[in-house]
Amino acid sequence: MSLEWKKSVIAVLGLLFLGSLVLIQKLEVDRRAVEAKLVAEPIVVPAASRQCVDCHAQSTPGLVDHWKDSTHAHKGVGCVECHQAEKGDADGFDHYGAHVAAIVTPMDCGRCHPDEAKEFGASHHAKGGNILASLDNLLAEVVEGSRSPMNPHAPTPGRPDVTSVNGLASVEVGCKQCHGSKVGLLATDGRSITVDDLKPDKHGKPTNTAILADVQRRDGKPLLHSGSWPNTGIGRINLDGSLGSCSACHSRHDFSARRARQPENCGKCHLGPDHPQKEIYEESKHGVAYRDLKDHMNLDAKDWVLGDDYSQAPTCATCHMSGNLRNGGKVTHDPGERISWTNRPPVSLGMDTDKNHAVIKESDPAKRAAAIADGGDSWQAKRQRMTDVCMHCHTQDYVTSFYEQYDDLVVLYNEKFAKPGQAIVAALRAQKLLTPQEFDEEIEWTWYYLWHHEGRRARHGASMMAPDYTHWHGMFEVAERFYVELIPQARELAAHAAASGKQAEADAVTKVIDEILARPEHVWQDKGH
Amino acid sequence: MNGPAARLRNFLRERLPVDGEQLRALTNEPVPHHLKHWWFCLGGTPAYLFVVMIVTGILLAFWYEATPTRAWESVRVISEDVAYGWFLRSVHRWAATLMVAAVVLHQMRVFFTGAYRRPRELNWLIGMGLLVCTLMAGFTGYSLVYEQLSYWGATVAANLADNVPVIGGLLKSFLLGGDDYNAHTLSRFFVLHGAILPVTMIGLIALHVTLIRLHGVAEMKFRRDEATAPRFFNFFPDHLLTELTIGLVLMILLCVLASIFPVPIGPRADPLSTPEVIKPEWFFYVAFRWLKLWSERAAFLSLGAIVVVMAAWPFIDGWIRRKRPGSEASVFVGIVAVLAILGLTVWEALVAH
Amino acid sequence: MTLSLLASYGTFAAMAGRFLLPTGGRPRRWLLVSDLGSFRAGATRTFVAPTGERIVIARRAAGDASGGDDRGAPALDEFVALSSTCPHLGCQVTWQPQETRFFCPCHNGTFAPDGSPTGGPPLEANQSLPRYPLRIDAGLLYIEVPLADGAAT
């Protein structure tokens, strides 16, 4: 090989080497581009919370991990920002140099999220804790349990510690875990010191500070009454007087917007025989599409605006809370803002609300209009907000006709069964053929089943397009309950009254029943005479 | 004549009393004609790769941190965060692989052509030293990554060193800086890999090349060679160009290997769990399989004996040839040895345990 | 030939040089300082950055505030976040409450509470204490600070 030839070979090889370096450079550039998207932003533990994180990463590592995956962690919101208490807070305590409280309330969250806290505070959700004197509560406290502690009636082998029975267990573990407890500090005598005793001012500071001396403490930390905590019920009544619990939907300690957008989250409470919204949603085309397309729904998006971030399927949050293109992306933390019927009571009511966000029960149209005008909100306005959501995927005609179908079902239920049922029970009560005590007579259970379980299933089924719930789990059972149980039981009560000398009362009730059954929608029955 | 250039030349000449012509005459040794055959360049190849290793190694050392807590993370930073880090690390790793291969091929060539024979026995010994250093550098190198293989490889090797007669325990303590793998161990491997071994190798390579120069390259004659071809050609520029060509081919090869098979980073070392399948680098497969064949002590000592026999082979071969002149025993021994090495390597490569 | 060799090995050397350069400085991040409601006019806060640096964040006293929207929310220019690193040669300044000034022990540089130089080399060179970027978002005050090494988890 001649020298000149060799030199040319080297020149070519040198260029090839250069070429491979260029290739390397391209790989490097590509890699950077990919990594810029892949690499998760590092977490910063804020200086004030570093000690908390160091210690809790050992003692409660899961909790710290949840926080590390949260948006809070990425924005430098640490432990003390939420848990910090001020001197004078009822449940504050010194904890390794910080003054903190275990329970974070909407008042705490509202320091940084004021709009969300305000909307939530106005919602029916926030008032969920005020069931404490309702029919449902009577069931759990009295019928299922006992308002005062009981004695055990026979020993429990292996558990000699069972020396008394907490009659409120069903309320505390059942009702209040959804509705929210009235948070209480454990007093030295075992009673619960609640917001009613503390009488907090508008900043949440207790005005009755003397009572704090009664609080049981361990290493300075005030103990909470186990009947009221742990609790993430959505209407929790907190020691600082605030209502609700943000973690009911957003979960501690990752405070996930993503989770709150998914129906499983609402399904902790909105399910079961009395209001199976979760099951209804799953039966509907909406739920079916969600299950199929969930992975494409961009659930991690910052704002999650319908029509912009996703449009595959709606979840509970989509229709009732989240922002959409037609409303400018405005999220509301008051799910009642888009609901035009309340199907909660025995007879459905139009959702006109007053300035306190309470449903207007007034029947005079002028007074209703006045209450709406005075800072209230009409059902039509609410329906329009919901229609805005629907119209991302459906035409105006389609939505209007859907609402006609829904209205028709609600009105049918109201007129054929609910108002008559209500009238019959009212007549029995008016004639004193029923005791004032609820649930001690069979017909009271019958009526409760009719409206509280079956009637709601029918109406909710219609509201969210689940035909099976509307019909078989709904109207079919309502009809059966009405014709096969309610009417015969009412007649039997009247007959029994007549036999025991209360002929006038019996006649009054029978008249109400007969008038109802004489209506055209009920005359289908062939009475055989 | 009295321009600044001439003054500078005089200034330098006076302080560096070496004449360019002298230097040229000193280094421009005649190169035997057979080196025109490409496969006789396997000696220059490892030398060139060694330079590549030194350059990339120094670069990597800028980012590497030799502590158990930071080592793996720093290698990750090199591979993922630093510009071209993955490339330089891959080049370093692939150059190591190619270097081991080239050293072994070079040694086989020397063996089968009998180039180790009198008077060149000492250079064979130095070559053996370089082989051992290369393998040790390979081993200490992958210990530094502090991935699972690094940790368990180092642990196993240190415990094997315990089997060396008399000084075994001392050797192990020296290697680990304690009774078992601890916080000091990694710095020891780093010093071995980054200072002691390279410096030793530079010294050995210098000796190796000096001895070649003093003896002259062993001449070969091939039947195909034209009778009229000159016996020698010049080192400058002819052979230098050959070496340059080889260097460029190697660089291209390294770039291609690095971009197609960039070196990954394995799971971080976990002193509490040994992985299910653990194997050293391919060039230790032979020894690894051998160790599994016999009892640990027997295998380790026989391995040592084999290395000693390899080192002493020029003298053994000389003794045989004195007894039976013209014997080709070494060729047969060589073939058997190569087949055995290949067999054990392939065997280890094919099985999981 | 020479050209080709120089170009290829030169490129390799350039890549090696790029390899040695630091990887784009410390990453920076917006972190929450406080909600605006609890940061009263005239108040001063110390924000400890992830690097450990103590950053003084002050809100000007009411009265000399120039902005603010109609809701009475404070404007961004009411806030200032001062680095404690002296602009002269990088020493850490300390706050001397009795003198109401920042003092740099290295060359006796002094700064007014708003960070402007009042004495020593910083005054001669007219160098103020560096300011950190602040941002108001949804009623919350954020600061952009460098992250510490190994902040990543």
pLDDT in tens, A287-340: 999 999 999 999 999 899 999 999 999 999 999 999 999 999 999 999 999 999
Percent of chain A with pLDDT over 70: 97
Structural domain containing residue A518: 397-522
CA C70 to chain centre: 30
- Cβ atoms of A304 and A257 within 8 Å: the answer is yes
Chains touching chain C through at least 3 C-beta pairs below 8 angstroms are A, B
Question: How confident is the model over A137-165, as pLDDT tens digits?
Answer: 889 989 999 988 899 999 999 999 999 99
Residue ending a domain, choose from A223, A250, A277: A250
DSSP string, B205-241: HHHHHHHHHHH-PPP---TTS-TTS-SEEEIIIIIHH
How far apart are the C-alpha atoms of A399 and A394, rounded to whole Å?
Answer: 6
pLDDT tens-digit series, residues A448-490? 999 999 999 999 999 999 999 999 999 999 999 999 999 999 9
Over residues C15-74, the pLDDT tens digits come to: 999 888 887 667 788 888 888 888 888 888 888 888 888 888 988 776 554 444 444 567
Residue A495 lies in a domain: yes
Q: Do A24 and B87 touch (CB under 8 A)?
A: yes
> What is the predicted pLDDT for the residue at B226?
56
Judged by a CB distance cut-off of 8 A, whether residue C8 touches chain A is yes
pLDDT of residue A385: 96
Q: Phi and psi for B271 in degrees, rounded to 5? A: -60, -10
Measured CA to CA, the distance from residue A46 to residue C143 in angstroms comes to 12
B248 and C8 within 8 Å at the Cβ level: the answer is yes
Distance from CA of A223 to the nearest CA of B (A): 41
Whether the bond between B119 and the residue before it is cis, its omega within 30 degrees of 0, is yes
| The pLDDT of residue C27 | 75
Superfamily of domain C26-146: Rieske [2Fe-2S] iron-sulphur domain (2.102.10.10)
Highest mean pLDDT among A367-376, B221-230, C87-96: A367-376
Separation CA B153–CA B159 (nearest Å): 10
Instruction: With CB atoms and an 8 Å threshold, state whether C152 touches A24.
Output: no
* Predicted local distance difference test score (pLDDT) of residue C65: 46
User: Residue ranges of the domains in chain C?
Assistant: 26-146
CA angle, A154 then A157 then A159, to 5°: 95
Average pLDDT rounded to a whole number, residues B150-163: 86
Closest chain B C-alpha to C5 CA, distance in angstroms: 9
Considering CB atoms only, which of A13, A23, A24 is closest to B245? A13
Q: What are the residue ranges of helices labelled H in A152-256? A: 169-170, 176-179, 195-198, 247-250
For residue A443, being part of any structural domain is answered with yes
Q: Which domains does chain B have, with CATH numbers?
A: 31-276 (1.20.810.10), 279-353 (no CATH)
Cα–Cα dist B347/B282, whole Å: 11
Q: What is the mean pLDDT of residues A6-26?
A: 87
Residue A388 located in a structural domain:
no
CB–CB contact B59 C20 (8 Å):
yes
Per-residue pLDDT at B353: 67
Number of separate domains in chain A: 2
Chain B residues closer than 8 Å to A10 by CB:
241, 244-245, 248
The share of chain A scoring above pLDDT 90, in percent, equals: 78
Average pLDDT of span B146-153: 90
State pLDDT tens for residues B42-98.
778 899 999 999 999 999 999 999 998 889 999 998 988 888 999 999 999 999 999
Taking the Cβ of residue C49 and every Cβ of chain A, the question of whether any pair is shorter than 8 Å is answered with yes
Q: Helices A379-390 and A396-413 meet at what angle, rounded to 10?
A: 130
Mean per-residue pLDDT of chain A:
92
- Chain-chain contact of C8 with B55 (C-beta, under 8 angstroms): no
pLDDT value of position B236 = 67
With 50 as the cut, is the pLDDT of residue B126 above it? yes
- The Cα of A52 is separated from the nearest Cα of chain B by a number of Å equal to 23
The two three-digit tokens of residue A122, written as one number: 């106005």
Angle at C96 between CA C124 and CA C50, to 5 degrees: 90
Tokens standing for residue A450: 């009719």
Give the span between the Cα atoms of C128 and C109, in whole angstroms: 10
The tokens for A145 are 């349990």
| CA–CA gap between residue A117 and residue C139 (Å, rounded) | 14
Q: How far apart are CA A206 and CA A89, in angstroms?
A: 7
Please judge whether A10 and B256 are an interchain contact, meaning their C-beta atoms are less than 8 angstroms apart: no
pLDDT at C153: 36
Torsion of CA A427, A433, A436, A441, to 10 degrees: -110
Whether residues A27 and B87 touch (CB distance < 8 A) is answered with yes
Which residues does chain A have within 8 Å of residue B84's beta carbon, measured at their own beta carbons? 24, 28
Residue A68 domain flag: no
Query: What is the pLDDT confidence band of residue B210, given thresholds at 50, 70 and 90?
Result: confident
In a domain, A128, yes or no: yes
Identify the residue among B48, B51, B53, B59 best suited for mutation to test binding to C, counting C beta carbons within 10 A and taking the highest: B59
The model's pTM: 0.67
Rounded to an integer, the average pLDDT of A276-282 is: 96
Q: Which of A13, A68, A111 is closest, CB to CB, to C153?
A: A68
